[in-house]
Amino acid sequence: MRKRTLGLLAMGVVLPLFASLSSARTPDSGTALDRKVRAFLDRRSGDWRELNVPAADGRLLHDLILRNGYRRVLEIGTSTGHSAIWMAWALSKTGGRLITVEIDPSRHGKALRNFREAGVSGYIDARLGDAHDLVPALPGPFDLVFSDADKSWYRNYFEALAPKLVPGGCYATHNVSDTRDTGFGLRDYVDYVKGRNDFDTTFHDRGAGVAVSCKKRPE
Ligand SMILES: C[S@@+](CC[C@H](N)C(=O)[O-])C[C@H]1O[C@@H](n2cnc3c(N)ncnc32)[C@H](O)[C@@H]1O
């Protein structure tokens, strides 16, 4: 009887200890940088007002990079940097770097300040200019592209970048859904990516809608 009580007591002490150790190892609370980025994102949560992605979509991109060990990432449409910060956070763990392009000088400037405050400037090459000119000139290769600028140009960006994406790499496009109208008139784009037999496309609707088209590896 005493042995059983002692056993139960030990479980009561040891099991919560293991639980707290494993939760302490979550990526959000690991390094000093993790804590800095997390604190920045928490502080600014609900305060992104310049067409920025919702946090669910930032998290999706972050997890996509970590899960696949992606290192070479391109974003079209920085705005003030919400999605870029999520991606740079993941790249701080994979040893990678993000190139991000924005046409609006004021948003570009705010993004630079946000990157510094979040602690991720060292993982980001932020460029000011028109992506119509800058993107085709980028040599690549890329593991991941996140397309979130002018919707009317989505297909052109995809066609320019598909050859520069590595096999196994993914092309993520924002405000795109297969099952609902996101309000951007992107049905033609959905049909286009679904028709690309060299890509597998999945749709993620937890946030504002993200299509993730991954380049098939050669058989
Ligand atoms: C939806 S916002 C991007 C939001 C950003 N990904 C975030 O989560 O913070 C789209 C941005 O693309 C920029 N943009 C639109 N056309 C562009 C172009 N041709 N070249 C570069 N940036 C462009 C806009 O100025 C705008 O800031």
What distance in angstroms lies between residue 180's CA and the mean position of ligand 1's atoms? 22
What distance in angstroms lies between residue 51's CA and the mean position of ligand 1's atoms? 8
Ligand 1-lining residues (CB < 6 angstroms)? 51-53, 77-83, 101-104, 107, 130-132, 148-150
Section 162-168 average pLDDT: 98
- pLDDT higher than threshold 90 for residue 28: no
Write down the pLDDT at residue 219: 82
Write down the pLDDT at residue 158: 98
Kindly report, residue by residue over 134-161, the tens digit of the pLDDT: 999 999 999 999 999 999 999 999 999 9
Identify the residue with better confidence: 10 or 61: 61
From residue 181, how far is each of 17, 141, 167, 208 by CA, in Å? Answer: 47, 32, 30, 10
d(CA 164, CA 55): 28
Atom of ligand 1 nearest to the CA of 81: 9
Q: Are 64 and 144 in contact (CB under 8 A)?
A: yes
Kindly report, residue by residue over 177-193, the tens digit of the pLDDT: 999 999 999 999 999 99
Task: Using alpha carbons, select from 180, 175, 177 the residue that is nearest to residue 203.
Answer: 177
d(CA 68, CA 203): 18
d(CA 82, CA 117): 12
The pTM score is 0.88
Q: What is the DSSP string of 175-192?
A: S--SSS--SS--HHHHHH
d(CA 188, CA 191): 5
User: Considering only 17-21, 100-104, 123-127, which range has the smallest mean pLDDT?
Assistant: 17-21
26: tokens are 């979550």
Kindly report, residue by residue over 87-117, the tens digit of the pLDDT: 999 999 999 999 999 999 999 999 999 999 9
The values of phi and psi at residue 69, to 5°, are 65, 30
Q: Residues with Cβ < 8 Å from 126, sequence gap 6 or more?
A: 78, 81, 84, 100, 102, 108, 111, 112, 115
What distance in angstroms lies between residue 115's CA and the mean position of ligand 1's atoms? 16
DSSP 218: P
